[in-house]
Amino acid sequence: MIFEEIKKKATAYLQDLESTTNIRVGTPTCGKAAGADDVIIEFRKELEKKGLEIPLIEVGCMGLCFAEPLVAVFKPQMFTILYQNVNTQKVKRLIEGYIEGDDPCFEMALGTLEFDENGLPFIPELKRSEFEKRILLRRCGIVDPKNILHYIGLGGYKGLEQALGMSPDRVVKEINDSKLRGRGGAGFPTGIKWEKCANNSSKKKYVICNADEGDPGAFMDRVILESDPHQVIEGMLIAGYAVGANEGFIYIRAEYPMALEIVRNAKREAEEFGILGDSVLGSSFSFHLRIIEGAGAFVSGEETGLMAAIEGKRSEPRVRPPYPSEYGLFGRSTLIDNVKTFSYVPWIIENGAERFAKIGTENSKGTAIFTLAGKVKNPGLTEVPMGTTLRTIAYEIAGGAPNEREIKGIQIGGPSGGCIPNSLFDSPVDYEVLLSLGSMMGSGGMIFMDENDCVVDTAKFFLDFVQKESCGKCTMCRIGTLQLLHMMEKITKGLANLEDLDKLKNLAEDVKIGSLCGLGKSAPNPVLTTLHYFYDEYVAHVAEKRCPALVCKDLLAYFIVPAKCDRACEHCKLTCPTEAIGGVIGEPKYIIQDKCVKCGTCMNVCPPEYSAVIKVSPVDKLYELKEKGV
């Protein structure tokens, strides 16, 4: 089928869909975890009962994770309304309200879904919409990821069609002019990478999409693959055409089974429609795609490590140069980019490099996608123009910390990034600015911490992670991170002294210098930034044996304030897993410290009107309290 016919078919499909009321339920991994499957079953049941034939489409994620399960009701000539936290009890009301009738069910609504003059979606009722610019996410949560016609109907594969009408050099130039930089974290100019690969004389070349999103706390690549997989495939096709490669690989981690399934389906569809295969859209350009399942190693996210994994080897990074564009997969010239980088490509080709380069800062162009997790009211995913301040993201978009607490810092870029304190939140999001603060764009995962989070413990957590994930090739990374971890353990156990903090800093700097790849080079970042910005907290752990955030278990104890304890209630005593609570009915309860494992159950179950259980740090404070007879 030629592309004109496919487009006609797609337009017909879309017109058909838009002329009827239809329901779209977000069922990505996160939506399912929140109960979206049950909502779909309930919808089917209720619709069938009423004999209504209304299309029910499973879509991806809009990044509004706090509102999951999210349901969108599309009605011809009416507002599209998004409903948040829909559960099975709300389904009937929704059907009778807005689907059958004209009652918009405002009490459940999150807002209306509208599109700006450039076709980018926004929700006017949400304040965060003012600050967002959804380029990559424009179809996420709207398009059916399992139906290529929907994608094409919304203008998909137009960028590819346009690119095929240009010379490969012209495509490379366009990417160069857009000043797009790699979204995998390091921010290498994408155009230069493409140019190098295009100029390489290797007869056979490969294009690889790096979807080995290993940062524990970042999930935007998963969302894009699950919500709009064709966008990635289209970007890879354009890249293949531009650099002269006829084979591509998408390397997706096995921990993302749903992303794998959806991308496999997308590949099948694209092959059926002649978009992937021997003659792409009827042209003389051929491109074959393979999907590779990753076996779970953080270091596979490093480009040379990833290529080793595809080759069936241990995923050990190697020295660069030669760069993959000169010596890549199986020794061939290889272009390797991140999911997001490829996803920008079709938009840039369609809208022109100039328009892309207009967005953002001097050296960081376009938008940036961040995952928002940790202590914020509105966790999820956001896409903002580069140059947006961290404060805007933290407060206007993520909604600030819950329970009127204050955000203390943001860890950006996962284990490779650093922790930026609240005092620097007016800094703009930009590759160079974040580097100058000791952090990096990295994966784009943002973890928000409030007063109840211990930065020392968090830095230790990241070290523990990279230490386990070090491939073991470089001594400084293999043993250095382990020693750093031991030092951090000493600190969180109250066994370190002030001199140890200097040793910690020195070794952290040495590990940076003595490691080959990004994993080792950036592994000490969390420690170095927290040492720099939160030195007081380290000193409290070391000098006073006190954890200010009351997190480090060895430095705290649980205590039941006798005056507050309602003597008749036995919640704590009944739920304590180690029978560490003494006291009989009618008497105040007390904690037998030797038996206590500090799981916090007693504190959670103590009725809020008493709130008798408290945490104290340092542990010695217990004796003080007891002496005072509190």
Partner 1 sequence: MKMEQKWDDDEPTLIQALIDIQKGLGFLPPEKLREVATSFGISEAYIWGVATFYNIFRFKPRGKTHIKVCMGTACHLSGGGLVAEAAERELNIKVGETTDDQDFSLERVACVGCCMLAPVVVINDRVYPRMSPLKLEEVLIEFKRDKKED
The binding site for partner 1 (CB under 8 A) comprises 29-30, 32-34, 65-66, 68, 214-219, 222, 247, 254-256, 290, 292-298, 309-315, 330-331, 371, 373-375, 379-380, 411, 414, 445, 447, 449, 453, 458, 461-462, 465, 471, 575, 577-578, 597-601, 604-605
Would you say 30 or 243 has its CB closer to partner 1? 30
Nearest residue (CB) to partner 1, 139 versus 222: 222
Output 242 or 329, the one with its CB closest to partner 1: 329
Q: Please identify, using beta-carbon distances, which residue of 462 and 538 lies nearer to partner 1.
A: 462
CB of 81 to partner 1, least distance (A): 22
Shortest spacing between CB 447 and partner 1, in angstroms? 5
- Tokens at 213, concatenated: 């999103």
Q: Answer for the pair 420, 439: CB distance below 8 angstroms, yes or no.
A: yes
Using CA atoms, how far residue 191 sits from 100, 353, 360, in Å, is 51, 11, 17
Query: CB 384 → partner 1: shortest distance, Å?
Result: 19
Of the pair 497, 593, the CB lying nearest partner 1 is at: 593
**Contact criterion met (CB below 8 Å) for 557 and 576:** no
**Of 11 and 604, CB closest to partner 1:** 604
Nearer to partner 1 among residue 181 and residue 375 (C-beta): 375
Residue (of 248, 332, 342) closest to 286 by Cα position? 248
HSE-up of residue 608 (Cα within 13 Å, Cβ side) = 0
Smallest separation, CB 304 to partner 1 (Å): 15
Instruction: Return d(Cα 544, Cα 584) in angstroms, integer.
Output: 35
Paired with 247 in beta bridges are 206, 288
Q: Is 477 helix (H, G, I), strand (E, B) or coil?
A: helix
**Nearer of residues 83 and 98 to partner 1, judged by Cβ:** 83
Q: How far is the CB of 33 from partner 1 (least distance, A)?
A: 4
**What is the closest distance, in whole angstroms, from the C-beta atom of residue 445 to partner 1 in the complex?**
7
Task: Assess contact for 516 and 426: CB atoms under 8 A.
Answer: no
Element (H, E) at 469: helix 455-469
DSSP type of residue 549: T
Please write down the HEC assignment for all residues of 280-338: HHHCCCCEEEEEEEECCCHHHHCHHHHHHHHCCCCCCCCCCCCCCCCCCHHHCEEEEEE
Question: Rounded to the nearest whole angstrom, what is the least distance from the CB of residue 362 to partner 1 in the complex?
Answer: 31
- Contact yes or no for 340/181 (Cβ under 8 A): no
Residue 259 in contact with residue 211, Cβ under 8 Å? yes
CB of 438 to partner 1, least distance (A): 18
Q: How many residues does the chain have?
A: 630
Closest distance between partner 1 and the C-beta of residue 459, in Å? 11
- CB of residue 524 vs partner 1: minimum separation in angstroms? 17
Q: What is the DSSP letter of 365?
A: B
Q: How far apart are CA 487 and CA 503, in angstroms?
A: 9
Of 254 and 630, the one with the shorter C-beta distance to partner 1 is 254
Q: Which is nearer to partner 1, 92 or 598 (CB)?
A: 598
Residue 540 CB, shortest distance to partner 1, in Å, is: 19
Classify residue 547 as left (phi > 0), alpha (psi -120 to 50) or beta: beta
In which element (H, E) is residue 8 found?
A: helix 3-18
Nearer to partner 1, 189 or 217 (CB): 217
Closer to partner 1 by Cβ: residue 44 or 290? 290
C-beta neighbour count of 167 within 10 angstroms: 11
Q: How far is the CB of 571 from partner 1 (least distance, A)?
A: 10
Q: How far is the CB of 531 from partner 1 (least distance, A)?
A: 19
Nearer to partner 1 (CB atom), residue 164 or residue 471: 471
Cα gap 432→434, rounded to integer Å: 5
- List the one residue out of 110, 45, 101 whose CA is nearest residue 72: 110
Euclidean distance between CA atoms 414 and 425, whole angstroms: 18
Give the shortest CB-22-to-partner 1 separation in angstroms. Answer: 27
How many CB atoms lie under 10 A from the CB of residue 106?
10
Pair 595, 578: CB distance under 8 Å: yes
Whether omega for the bond prior to residue 28 falls within 30 degrees of 0, making it cis, is no
Tell me how far apart the alpha carbons of residues 573 and 601 are, in angstroms, rounded to a whole number. Answer: 10
What is the helix (H) or strand (E) element at residue 499, kind and residue range? Answer: helix 498-513
Residue nearer to partner 1 on the CB measure, 159 or 240: 240
